[in-house]
């Protein structure tokens, strides 16, 4: 039995998000870029083969890492927007309310909320958004009934948030722009 590449990627990124989203901000932003590139790169560019999509994802991941290292304030805003949009879309998908007609408006609204959360409550928002995204990445690859999938999602998201808050309790007053 061969495991799909997407499942391996989602599991690895999900674990990184759940455990290190706040601690390794540059890696979090790189993974956000990678996942967005992997998930939507083929649709935006028209490429359908796995290797082209993987190269696009690697490019967006590297761009995210560089952005977070050299322009942290901008990276915080971009990551907040992207993960907020991604979170809303996937929450709507998880609950069965996602409509193609409202895909982009939902993404933009979620992005704005994620951006605002990142600007106002940086560390807390980073823990919440990375735990939320990590939990979704993991439940996305398992085949469960919707109520059980939602329960597993909530348990993973809470466990990730608690883990991140407990493992690195100091540094919660880090300044956004300096």
- Give the residue ranges of the chain where pLDDT is below 70: 1, 168-178
Q: What is the pLDDT of residue 45?
A: 78
CB atoms within 10 A of CB 26: 16
Residues near 79 by beta carbon (within 8 Å), at least 6 away in sequence: 28, 29, 32, 64, 68, 118
Domain locations in the chain?
5-167
Q: How much is the pTM?
A: 0.70
User: How far apart are the two ends of the chain, measured CA to CA in Å?
Assistant: 49
């Amino acid at each position: 039995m061969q495991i799909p590449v997407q499942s391996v990627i989602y599991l690895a990124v999900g674990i990184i998000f759940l455990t290190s989203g706040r601690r390794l901000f540059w890696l979090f932003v790189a993974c956000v870029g990678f996942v967005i590139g992997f998930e939507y790169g083929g649709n935006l560019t028209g490429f359908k083969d796995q290797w082209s999509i993987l190269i696009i994802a690697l490019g967006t991941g590297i761009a995210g890492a560089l952005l977070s290292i050299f322009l942290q304030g901008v990276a915080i805003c971009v990551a907040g927007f992207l993960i907020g949009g991604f979170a809303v879309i996937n929450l709507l998908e998880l609950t069965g309310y996602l409509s193609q007609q409202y895909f982009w408006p939902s993404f933009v609204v979620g992005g704005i909320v994620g951006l605002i959360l990142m600007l106002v409550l940086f560390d807390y928002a980073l823990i919440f958004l990375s735990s939320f995204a990590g939990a979704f990445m993991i439940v996305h690859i398992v085949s469960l009934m919707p109520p059980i999938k939602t329960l597993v999602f909530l348990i993973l998201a809470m466990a990730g948030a608690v883990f991140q808050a407990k493992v690195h309790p100091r540094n919660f007053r880090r300044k956004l722009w300096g």
